[in-house]
Structure 1
Amino acid sequence: MYAILDIETTGGKYNEEGITEIAIYKYDGHEVVDQFISLVNPERDIQPFVVNLTGINNNMLKNAPKFYEVAKRIVEITEDCILVAHNANFDYRILCTEFRRLGYDYERKSLCTVELAKDLIPGQSSYSLGKLVRSLGIPVTDRHRASGDALATVKLFKMLLDKDTDKRIIQNSVRLNPKHQLEPRHIDIIAELPSITGVYYIHNANGDIIYIGKSNNIKKRINQHFTGTNAKSKKIQSKVTAVTYEATGSELVALLKESEEIKRIKPLYNRALRRSIFTHALYSFKDDNNYLNLKIDVADGRKKPITTFSNRQSGKSFITKAVEDYNLCQKLTGLYQTKSSCFNYDIKNCYGACIEKETPESYNSRVNALIETNSYSNKDMVIIDKGRDVDERSAILIKNGVFKGIGFFNLNYQINNIDVLESIITPMQNNRDTQHIIQSYLRRNKRLKIIKIT
């Protein structure tokens, strides 16, 4: 659990500042679950340059509560939380100073989004909150007021969690959270999980990730792990201390994240060398008569496939439908073995490429249309899918036929501006597995929105 905060102060000499406004959003890694926002009477004058910056003046604070009146609420909302702030050293120091004046020793673990951003989003021209969120297309209102800046930090932290592909933030959170150090009952873990699409992470007592999975219903899938009787399920049941998850909204994003993170993190109970998730592929070649032929064959890493399949039957079903949709020849697609005309020609459903009645140019144009539809080779495009919230969408970026990564956006500006788009994208590896995942998903979901990058 995280307490994401921003504090406005009077300014002045070091350790003599007073708090004029505080905003705290309690964030569980997915949504804000509690919040506290208040002006505070600092019992001292505000520096003129601070008044110009924040708009908060002495008159506004006359009837505001003094710090001792809000201290109990601050302690409660930040209990068992990691404090998160942009330039956390400043906000944490100010809080500790105020509590020290009351004779209370305030201690919390903290995370700084400046340091996290420098690590996870390198190369930015500035890491000040205003310039950084602007460059990432994150909307911000009430700049230099505690609530506006804290909300912008929430959105920034959410993006940083997405970009933390090694899951260091989450693992440290599990390790530091004292309630997870006791062995909870499996039913308690399940009760806290949602029935949503995403990737889940099973942790041991040290916070280490021992298993990663993907599901369209995380609660149901974890329940299956905890009630399973096979050897792997029993090992997981004996080691599990916590389950964290990452909502994706999109099944495609969940599949890609699962594949990437198993390879990167290598959890103990995921198979170290997973068998390739596809076995067969669609290839094309020209015959002696200059006709483009299609063939479903065992996947060969030395050849460049048009698309891939989980098994031969899946490939055969695809090519059978393609013959119908594109008026292709059964013989030239490997479905009908003959030295003369194919069966479809005999019933007038083939134009005769099998016996050279149709010109290669005419026939090949339809084969190329099939290839163009089912391969993203050399294409620049963004696949748009569901997001984690109603007003959010996910983006899968492909440049020159290479999968670059995934991200989430709320505004069309963020995907129509290539510089902003590349900033919000979490880079991921392009490999044969990701190509198969994307192509298979596109075949199953014909209505997905695809934006071509020009």
Structure 2
Amino acid sequence: MYAILDIETTGGKFNEEGITEIAIYKYDGHEVVDQFISLINPEREIQPFVVNLTGINSNMLRNAPKFYEVAKRIVEITEDCILVAHNAQFDYRILCTEFRRLGFEYERRSLCTVELAKDLIPGQASYSLGKLVRSLGIPVTDRHRASGDALATVKLFKLLLDKDTNKTIIKNAIKTSPKQKLEPKHLDIIAEMPSITGVYYIHQEDGEIIYIGKSNNIKKRINQHFTNNNTKAKRIQAKVASVTYEATGSELVALLKESEAIKRLKPRFNRALRRSIFNYALYQFVDENGYINLKIDKADGRKKAITTFSNMQSGKSFITRAVEEFQLCQKLAGIYKTKTSCFHYDIKSCHGACIQEESPEDYNKRVLALIDKYSYANKNMVIVDRGREVDERSAILIENGVFKGIGFFNLNYQINNLEVLESIITPMENNRDAQHIIQSYMRRNKRLKIVVIDK
């Protein structure tokens, strides 16, 4: 659990500042579950430059509560939480100073989003909160007021959790959380899981991830893990101390995140050397008469595939549909072996490429149309799919035919700016498994939104 906060102060000499406003959002890694926002009477003068910056003046604070009146609420809302702030060293110091004046030693672990951003989003022109969130397309209101800045930090932290592909933040949080160190019952874990699409991570007591999975209903899938009787399930049940999850909204994003995380983190209960999830591929070659032929064959990493399939049957089903859709020749598509005309020619559905009645130029145009539709080679595009919330969408970036990564954007923002898009994208490896996942998903989801990006 995280307490994401922002504090506005009077300014002045070091350790003599007073708090004028505080905002705390209690965040469980997915949504805000509690909040506390209040002006505070600092019982001291506010520096003029601070008044100009924040708009908070002494008249506004005359009837505001003093710090000792809200101290208990601050202790309660941050209990068992990691404090998160933009420039956390400052906010944490100010809080500790105020509590020390009351004779109370306030201690919490803290995370700084400036440091996290420098590590996870390198190369930014500025890491000040305002400039950073604008460059990432994060909406911000009431700049230099505690609530507005704290809420922007919540959205920034959510993005940083997405970009933390090694799950260092979450693993450390579980390791040091006193609640997670207790042995929770499986029913308690299941009760906390949502029935949503996403990726889940099963942790042992020290926070280490021992299993990663993906599901369109995380609660149902975790329940299956805890009720199955096979050897693997029983070993997971004996080791599990906690389960965390990432909502994705999109099944495609969940599939890509699962594949990447397993390869990167190598959990002990996922297969150590996970077999490629595709075994067959569609290839093209030009015959002696100049016609482009298609062939489904076993996947070979040395050859460039148009698209890939999990098994031969799904490949045959695809090419059969493609022959109908693009009016291709069964013989040249590799699904009708004959030395003469194909069956479709006999029933007037083939234009005669099989016996060279149709010119290679005319026939090849339709084959190239198929290749263009189902292969993203050399394309700059974004696959837009569901987001985690109603006003959000996911973005899968393909640049020059190479899968670059995934991200999320608010519907208030356009995504045809490649520079902004690249800043919100979590980079991912362009391996053959990722390519297969994307191509297979595009085949199954005919109404998927594709946005072409101008370089």
Fold-level similarity (TM above 0.5): yes
**Structure 2, gaps ≥5 residues long:** none
Q: Distance in 1 between matches of 2:294 and 2:405?
A: 30
Q: Distance in 2 between matches of 1:411 and 1:221?
A: 30
Q: TM-score, normalised by structure 1?
A: 0.99
Question: Hey, what does 1:233 align to over in structure 2?
Answer: 233
Question: Hey, what does 1:155 align to over in structure 2?
Answer: 155
* Secondary structure, counterpart of 2:137 in structure 1: coil
Question: Hey, what does 2:336 align to over in structure 1?
Answer: 336
Question: Hey, what does 2:445 align to over in structure 1?
Answer: 445
Question: Hey, what does 1:345 align to over in structure 2?
Answer: 345
Is the Cα contact below 8 Å between 1:414 and 1:420 reproduced in 2? no
Question: Hey, what does 2:289 align to over in structure 1?
Answer: 289
Q: Distance in 2 between matches of 1:342 and 1:176?
A: 68
Question: Hey, what does 1:255 align to over in structure 2?
Answer: 255
Query: RMSD of the TM alignment (CA)?
Result: 0.7
* Secondary structure, counterpart of 1:7 in structure 2: strand
Q: Distance in 2 between matches of 1:180 and 1:174?
A: 6
Q: Deviations over 1:37-93 (max 9, x none)?
A: 000001111111111110000010000000011011101110110000000011001
* Secondary structure, counterpart of 1:333 in structure 2: coil
Q: Deviations over 1:103-133 (max 9, x none)?
A: 1111111000000000000011111111111
Question: Hey, what does 1:415 align to over in structure 2?
Answer: 415
Is the Cα contact below 8 Å between 1:284 and 1:295 reproduced in 2? yes
Question: Hey, what does 1:134 align to over in structure 2?
Answer: 134
Residue 6 (str. 1) matches residue 10 (str. 2): no
Segments of 4+ moved more than 6 angstroms: none
- Equivalent AA in structure 1 for residue 80 of structure 2: D
**Structure 1, gaps ≥5 residues long:** none
Q: Distance in 2 between matches of 1:201 and 1:413?
A: 31
Q: Deviations over 1:217-251 (max 9, x none)?
A: 00000001111111111110000000000000000
List aligned pairs for 1:165-244, cutoff 5 A: 165-244=165-244
Q: TM-score, normalised by structure 2?
A: 0.99
Q: Distance in 2 between matches of 1:95 and 1:221?
A: 42
Question: Hey, what does 2:92 align to over in structure 1?
Answer: 92
Is the Cα contact below 8 Å between 1:414 and 1:421 reproduced in 2? no
Question: Hey, what does 1:122 align to over in structure 2?
Answer: 122
- Equivalent AA in structure 2 for residue 41 of structure 1: N
Question: Hey, what does 1:378 align to over in structure 2?
Answer: 378
Q: Distance in 1 between matches of 2:140 and 2:442?
A: 35
Q: Distance in 2 between matches of 1:410 and 1:382?
A: 15
List aligned pairs for 1:16-95, cutoff 5 A: 16-95=16-95
Identity %: 81
Report the Cα offset of residue 413 of structure 1. Answer: 3.6
Question: Hey, what does 2:321 align to over in structure 1?
Answer: 321
* Secondary structure, counterpart of 2:415 in structure 1: helix
Q: Distance in 2 between matches of 1:225 and 1:349?
A: 51
Q: Distance in 2 between matches of 1:420 and 1:291?
A: 43
- Equivalent AA in structure 1 for residue 373 of structure 2: T
- Equivalent AA in structure 1 for residue 402 of structure 2: V
* Secondary structure, counterpart of 2:332 in structure 1: helix
Q: Distance in 2 between matches of 1:13 and 1:352?
A: 88
Report the Cα offset of residue 411 of structure 1. Answer: 3.9
Report the Cα offset of residue 412 of structure 1. Answer: 5.6
Is the Cα contact below 8 Å between 1:137 and 1:414 reproduced in 2? no
Question: Hey, what does 2:361 align to over in structure 1?
Answer: 361
Matched length: 454
Report the Cα offset of residue 414 of structure 1. Answer: 4.8
- Equivalent AA in structure 2 for residue 110 of structure 1: S
Report the Cα offset of residue 416 of structure 1. Answer: 1.9
